[in-house]
Amino acid sequence: MVGGGPGAGIAETHRTAMRLDDKFEIVSGVFSRDAEKSLFAAKKLGISRDRVYPDFVTMSEAESGRKDDRLDAVVIVTPTASHYEIARKFLQAGINVICDKPLCLKLAEARELKALVEKEALVFCLTHNYSGYAMVRHAARMVRRGDLGKVKVVQAEHASGWASRLLEKAGHPQAAWRTDPEVLGDASVLYDLGTHAHQLSRFVTGLEVTEVAAEMNQIVEGRAIKDNANLLLRFSNGARGTLWASMAAVGNEHGLRIRVYGDRGSLAWHHEDPHHLRYCPIDGAPQILAQGADWLSADAQRWTRVGLGHPEGFFEAFANLYTDVADALLAKADRKTYAKSDLSFPDVTDGARGVAFVESAMRSYAKGGGWTQVEAV
């Protein structure tokens, strides 16, 4: 693991997700740039001192050189800006990567990572964890098997209320870097939240976003960046839609939701109630599909640990990706290769598309709105 020292919330989520299905063990890492903090974290995790490294370069070299007990994959949970160079280094060393989202901050870098992954036939998981929910998987399967007919309209939102106050001026570290104009700038809300909604709409529909028209504004006055974005979308099959990303939608919880309308049916999912899916066929009454029901797809059943009426949440969705990755790593170890199923963990290509999407949206906004092509990856 690279990153994840004291105070790093997302690393703890990764570690909990790993433990849940008991398929991973952390054996090595750089947990902080501060050696003392890194050792402290390592000790808490029960990691042997000789596999704690001063920096990721040393780690990648030492670990790739080991004869036995080699790393199956490195987990990167540092802030976004460093993902590129860390991931590159490990990929070059032939080590599989599990990386927190978003992938990186430049399309060119994303393409480079993608090329490395492909060249080395490595496993690369980008933890857009919402793609791991059983009912998101089921939604994706329903679209693919034609339950909705042809997809026509997609309405995606990740409008969170988490930064509805000027937290960055009240000592909130995450708010500080996420609203720093020098770090992510106005694109922050799209990188942090917009890419989740983008990935969710791609994952559920199996379509690509080909063009965007973007508008941004500011909800919390005094903030150094825009904190709200509304986008129009055009999809690869001609469908249309909107995407709303916000960090300051007052009163919203996490605010991630998607509605997909085809010409034969529609479905709706929202993260506040992740174990249900509303499905409306054109010729019958709306239905509430619940995780664990007998008649769900194998994709949903695979990720239902207990059963109907036993809610699974954020950690379980995260764990689902990790277990998907474990399956891929085992397959690769066995056969020297692996074939990802059509509904599995998001990978480097998904990550690159997310970066291309944000770049296009920012170009549209910079030029005063209007349709802007999303570059291919």
* Closest CB to a second copy among residues 81, 282: 282
- Smallest gap from Cβ 300 to a second copy, in A, equals 12
* Closest CB to a second copy among residues 28, 266: 266
* Closest CB to a second copy among residues 35, 166: 166
- Smallest gap from Cβ 196 to a second copy, in A, equals 12
- Smallest gap from Cβ 240 to a second copy, in A, equals 4
* Closest CB to a second copy among residues 124, 133: 133
- Smallest gap from Cβ 238 to a second copy, in A, equals 7
* Closest CB to a second copy among residues 13, 96: 13
Q: Which of 49, 98, 102 is nearest to 71 (CA)?
A: 98
* Closest CB to a second copy among residues 94, 238: 238
Cβ atoms within 10 Å, residue 189? 26
- Smallest gap from Cβ 127 to a second copy, in A, equals 14
**Contact criterion met (CB below 8 Å) for 237 and 151:** yes
Sheet holding 96-99, edge to edge: 73-76, 96-99, 124-126
The pair of three-digit structure tokens given for residue 69, joined into one six-digit string: 């007990």
List of residues 6+ apart from 106 with CB closer than 8 A: 84, 355, 359
- Smallest gap from Cβ 61 to a second copy, in A, equals 30
Q: How far is residue 104's CA from residue 82's CA, in Å, rounded to a whole number?
A: 8
- Smallest gap from Cβ 62 to a second copy, in A, equals 26
As a whole number of Å, the end-to-end CA separation of the chain is 27
* Closest CB to a second copy among residues 96, 291: 291
List of residues 6+ apart from 76 with CB closer than 8 A: 1, 2, 3, 83, 86, 87, 90, 97, 98, 99, 100
* Closest CB to a second copy among residues 40, 315: 315
* 6-10 long-range Cβ contacts below 8 angstroms, 24+ apart: 6/32, 6/37, 6/40, 6/41, 7/173, 8/77, 9/174, 10/77, 10/100
Q: Alpha helices of the chain — where are they, by DSSP H?
A: 9-21, 35-44, 56-64, 83-92, 107-120, 134-144, 173-178, 188-189, 195-205, 298-302, 314-335, 348-366
The pair of three-digit structure tokens given for residue 59, joined into one six-digit string: 């780690």
Q: How far is residue 207's CA from residue 200's CA, in Å, rounded to a whole number?
A: 11
* Closest CB to a second copy among residues 203, 365: 365
Residue 111 CA, distance from chain mean position = 17
Strand pairing category for 228-235 and 96-99: unpaired
DSSP state of 284: S
